[in-house]
Amino acid sequence: MSYLAKNYNRKKISFSRGKGSYLYTTNGTKYLDFVQGIAVNCLGHANSRLIKTIKNQSKKLWHVSNAFEIPEGEKLAKKLCQKTFADYVMFQNSGAEATEASIKVARRYFYSIGKPNKNRILCVKNSFHGRTLAAIYASGSKKMTEGFGPKVPGFDHFVFGNHKSLKKKINKNTAAIMIEPIMGEGGIKVIPDWCLKELRKLCNKKKILLIVDEVQTGVSRSGDFFAFESSKIRPDIVPIAKGIGGGFPIGAVLMNKKVAAGMTPGTHGSTFGGNPLACSIANTVIDIVSSKKFLNNVKRLSKYFLSNLNQLKEKYPEVIKDIRGRGLLIGIQLHQNQAKFIKKLMDHKLLTIRAGENVVRILPPLNVKKNELDQAFKIINKVCSEFK
């Protein structure tokens, strides 16, 4: 029997090692891993540069309290600020922690300017911002909140794509709008650039903050360092996590100077957040994935893979409804429930994961090789033909 709580519906398979895009089971069966820990292992498994970093740092220093200065964190924060809109960074350990801390930053900002009643966060109905108590109520999903007691107050919701409802829901107590630039769990739904621009304008007009949750889309997953960059907007607060540690848990909140002013000493903290080991790994990840050359390669691979998948959609219109996504955050929307399709892909040794709206989510490592994309494509093609 298993002593693990039953909160996951796990597939009956386990792996003993991984290398790049591949995972190996205990008995040596090889799988092409296009889940990568759900957009976490951005450089694949057992990346040699990350191994070197973790080896070096683990011999020197793992953890010290945030009561002291942490040079590895200073270095990482500087890199993040120099590459993005941000002026300040606050380290966390996970995505949900980063989204919750973002909510705190937004509320605290209005408190600090003498408007404590501006504390409500407007979110997309059935979005995904994590699984802590506040984050599930931010997501506004019935399924995620059921049975978890009194509602955490302070969240309003609008329907994705319904701009009228969005405008109607903003009131004098609204502090911020929080959105995912590409809804990950919700089915790889991309918010178009023009829409992000309008959203920024709306926030300026209403004097409220814009929080862009880049936990899944960030750190080069979209082909840009952040998914919002192609729209040229500047958000106020951006939580990140998944990809930044390349498989090591670390999250962060990026913020501009204006909102950072509210975060005075003692207003937030995290025991593990931003320790030397986590930060040194993230430093190496950022050095690799944020270069122009690396990003151009992600864009090139994405274009190639998406165009192949779109051809597949033409070939099997009765199976595939839509091809979605940007960069290497890709969704194949099916006409029917995707569970059987994912199982079949797995039978053919390709690992993928579900997302909302019957979507098969495909998340290769960002340094995936072209021939590995070809191999995956062949398997997807085969499963489509079996599904016809």
Binding site for ligand PLP (CB under 6 A): 94-96, 99, 128-130, 180, 184-185, 213, 215-216, 241-242
Q: Tell me whether residue 216 or residue 338 sits nearer to ligand PLP (CB atom).
A: 216
Q: Tell me whether residue 96 or residue 380 sits nearer to ligand PLP (CB atom).
A: 96
Q: Tell me whether residue 183 or residue 319 sits nearer to ligand PLP (CB atom).
A: 183
Q: What's the min distance (Å) between Cβ of 126 and ligand PLP?
A: 12
Tokens (6 digits) for 352 = 């993928």
Q: In whole angstroms, what is the distance from residue 248 CA to residue 110 CA?
A: 34
Q: What's the min distance (Å) between Cβ of 211 and ligand PLP?
A: 11
Q: Tell me whether residue 22 or residue 155 sits nearer to ligand PLP (CB atom).
A: 155
Q: In whole angstroms, what is the distance from residue 207 CA to residue 294 CA?
A: 37
Residue 178 in contact with residue 200, Cβ under 8 Å? no
Contacts of 359 (CB under 8 A, 6+ apart): 187, 188, 324, 331, 332, 333, 334, 338
Tokens (6 digits) for 335 = 């006409």
Q: What's the min distance (Å) between Cβ of 1 and ligand PLP?
A: 27
Q: What's the min distance (Å) between Cβ of 266 and ligand PLP?
A: 24
Tokens (6 digits) for 331 = 């969704």
- Give 43-112 as a 3 state SS string: CCECCHHHHHHHHHHHHHCCCCCCCCCCHHHHHHHHHHHHHCCCCEEEEECCHHHHHHHHHHHHHHHHHH
Q: Tell me whether residue 92 or residue 256 sits nearer to ligand PLP (CB atom).
A: 92
Residue 92 in contact with residue 251, Cβ under 8 Å? yes
Task: Give the CB-nearest residue to ligand PLP.
Answer: 95
Q: What's the min distance (Å) between Cβ of 388 and ligand PLP?
A: 33
